[in-house]
Amino acid sequence: MNPAADFLPFALPDVGDEEAEAVAAAVRSGWLTSGGLARQFEQDFAEYVGARYAVAVNSATAGLHLALEAVGIQAGDEVLVPTWTFTATAEVVRYLGATPVLVDVDPVTLNIDLAAAEASITPATRAIMPVHFSGLPVPREELRAFAERHDLRVVEDAAHAFPVKSAGRWIGSGDSDAVVFSFYATKTMTTGEGGMLFTESAEIADRARTMRLHGINRDVFDRYQSTKPSWHYEVVAPGYKYNLTDPAAAMGLVQLRRARAMWERRTEIAERYLEAFSDLPVELPPRAPAGDEHAWHLFVIRLPEGADRDGFIQRMAELGVGTSVHFIPLHLQPVWRDLGKLRPEQFPVASREFDRVVSLPIFSSMTDLQVERVVDTVAASLRSGE
Ligand SMILES: *Cc1c(COP(=O)(O)O)cnc(C)c1O
């Protein structure tokens, strides 16, 4: 047997014939850039999460950049960002010449620690970018009160957090200035590459739409639909090129319809892991508190302190199971470490927990057999590391 053929990857997208046919139909229509399907995707999504405006973009990174730009972040400003995230959350702050101020995380949830955030506030602080790590929502009310107390704009990096509710509302709607989802290939739903920005503010939505397409006051589709001469447009700002294409939106429309069923499958897998690992010497991820839901984009276990995490990952791989690490905290990455002259001791929780975390496969197309294989392989890899 070819061992590579039997390898269970850490993550795979859950796409099939329905997505393939929708994309093929979009291609056959001849409209390859942003058009009616991208519009439809925005409308259906806004309705799904109960948000007033949805702006489709070609990545969450683009959406986060547009959101910060639209709320007026500029050079000299400071933006609070958890150190426990992907570099995209911090890099978009830098795009605008502002400074990401990294903040330590809560030891249980690995979400931003608002007490640590409070201690990092200066007169230049303008915004906070909470990340719902692994799909576990940052408490809504605490976040809202914190932002209000310090007069901060809020842009939620919700790349892990679709499709779930927090405090009775879908993530995507609520009090924040903007919320951004990712449709990267391995996220909880996918368009290959893509993202969506939600806001309740007409001003933010308008600005994001304009900046999404070169700072042009009407998008290409409008130019072909409206009664004004089709060649006429005005450039009102030096914008970006962040629009989502119709073939990508076609995939997204199918994935959106399937999103809750895919979430139910991930929840089933998470519950199986929580039960199966309850007797092992590992720390398990917390369930969502009452009233909230966990998107289970990631299932992150923590090995005992002092355990050989890298050796564990190696043994898992040798036994045919892919794993990963989320995240290498940003304060350990050269660019952010050097920019802020940061030391690991300034982030005691993230620095300590980083050495223990391992992300296990949890994608909706996993079979029961594959889930059981992960269960057995985790136990075997722990035993052989003793
Ligand atoms: C994946 C991810 C992003 C970036 O999403 P893209 O759609 O690839 O730009 C941002 N933040 C977090 C936390 C992510 O995991």
- Looking at the CA of residue 193, tell me the nearest atom of ligand 1: 7
CA distance 65 to 115: 26
Q: Give the confidence band of 222 by pLDDT, cuts at 50, 70, 90.
A: low
Per-residue pLDDT reduced to its tens digit, 34-82: 999 999 999 999 999 999 999 999 999 999 999 999 999 999 999 999 9
**185 CA to centre of ligand 1 in angstroms:** 10
CA distance 84 to 105: 7
* Per-residue confidence (pLDDT) for residue 320, from 0 to 100: 98
- What SS3 state is found at 179? strand
Mean pLDDT of 345-373: 98
* Per-residue confidence (pLDDT) for residue 217, from 0 to 100: 83
* Per-residue confidence (pLDDT) for residue 109, from 0 to 100: 98
- Looking at the CA of residue 63, tell me the nearest atom of ligand 1: 9
Domains identified in the chain and CATH numbers:
17-256 (3.40.640.10), 259-384 (3.90.1150.10)
Helix ranges (DSSP H) in the chain = 17-28, 36-49, 60-70, 87-95, 114-119, 140-150, 202-212, 220-225, 246-276, 309-318, 334-340, 348-354, 368-384
Only one residue has tokens 């006429």, namely 232
CA distance 253 to 56: 12
User: Are 349 and 105 a contacting pair, CB within 8 Å?
Assistant: yes
Q: Give the confidence band of 251 by pLDDT, cuts at 50, 70, 90.
A: very high
User: Are 374 and 273 a contacting pair, CB within 8 Å?
Assistant: yes
CA distance 85 to 110: 9
**121 CA to centre of ligand 1 in angstroms:** 25
120: pLDDT strictly greater than 50: yes
* Per-residue confidence (pLDDT) for residue 223, from 0 to 100: 61
* Per-residue confidence (pLDDT) for residue 174, from 0 to 100: 93
Q: Using the 8-state DSSP alphabet, how is residue 285 labeled?
A: P
Active site residue 187: yes
* Per-residue confidence (pLDDT) for residue 185, from 0 to 100: 98
The average confidence (pLDDT) of the chain is 96
Among 327, 331, 335, 383, which Cα is nearest to 353's? 327
Higher pLDDT, 2 or 159: 159
**68 CA to centre of ligand 1 in angstroms:** 15
**381 CA to centre of ligand 1 in angstroms:** 30
Q: Name the token pair of 353.
A: 């927990």
* Per-residue confidence (pLDDT) for residue 43, from 0 to 100: 98
* Per-residue confidence (pLDDT) for residue 1, from 0 to 100: 45
Q: Give the confidence band of 224 by pLDDT, cuts at 50, 70, 90.
A: low
Ligand 1 test: best mutation among 64, 102, 129, 157, most atoms within 8 Å of CB? 157
* Per-residue confidence (pLDDT) for residue 312, from 0 to 100: 98
Per annotation, catalytic residue among 187, 228, 241, 341? 187
Ligand 1 test: best mutation among 181, 187, 196, most atoms within 8 Å of CB? 187
CA distance 138 to 158: 10
Within 6 A (CB) of ligand 1 lie 59-61, 85-86, 88-89, 131, 157, 159-160, 182, 184, 195
pTM of the entire predicted model:
0.96
* Per-residue confidence (pLDDT) for residue 385, from 0 to 100: 77
Residue nearest to atom 1 of ligand 1 (CA): 159
Ligand 1 test: best mutation among 86, 191, 244, most atoms within 8 Å of CB? 86
Q: Give the confidence band of 221 by pLDDT, cuts at 50, 70, 90.
A: low
Distance separating the N- and C-terminal Cα atoms of the chain? 29
- Looking at the CA of residue 133, tell me the nearest atom of ligand 1: 13
CA distance 210 to 219: 8
The CA-CA-CA angle for residues 375, 379, 385, to 5°, reads 145
197: pLDDT strictly greater than 70: yes
CA distance 382 to 61: 36
Contacting residues for 317 by C-beta, under 8 A, at least 6 apart: 323
Q: Give the confidence band of 230 by pLDDT, cuts at 50, 70, 90.
A: confident
Among 240, 54, 44, 70, which Cα is nearest to 155's? 70
Residue nearest to atom 2 of ligand 1 (CA): 159
Q: Give the confidence band of 220 by pLDDT, cuts at 50, 70, 90.
A: low
DSSP calls for 73-117: --TT-EEEEESSS-HHHHHHHHHTT-EEEEE-B-TTT-SB-HHHH
Lowest mean pLDDT: which of 144-153, 227-236, 301-310? 227-236
- Looking at the CA of residue 182, tell me the nearest atom of ligand 1: 7
135: left (phi over 0), alpha (psi -120 to 50) or beta: left
**222 CA to centre of ligand 1 in angstroms:** 29
**255 CA to centre of ligand 1 in angstroms:** 18
Q: What percent of the chain has pLDDT over 70?
A: 97
Per-residue pLDDT reduced to its tens digit, 273-297: 999 999 999 999 999 999 999 999 9
- Looking at the CA of residue 160, tell me the nearest atom of ligand 1: 15
Q: What is the largest CA-CA distance in the chain?
A: 74
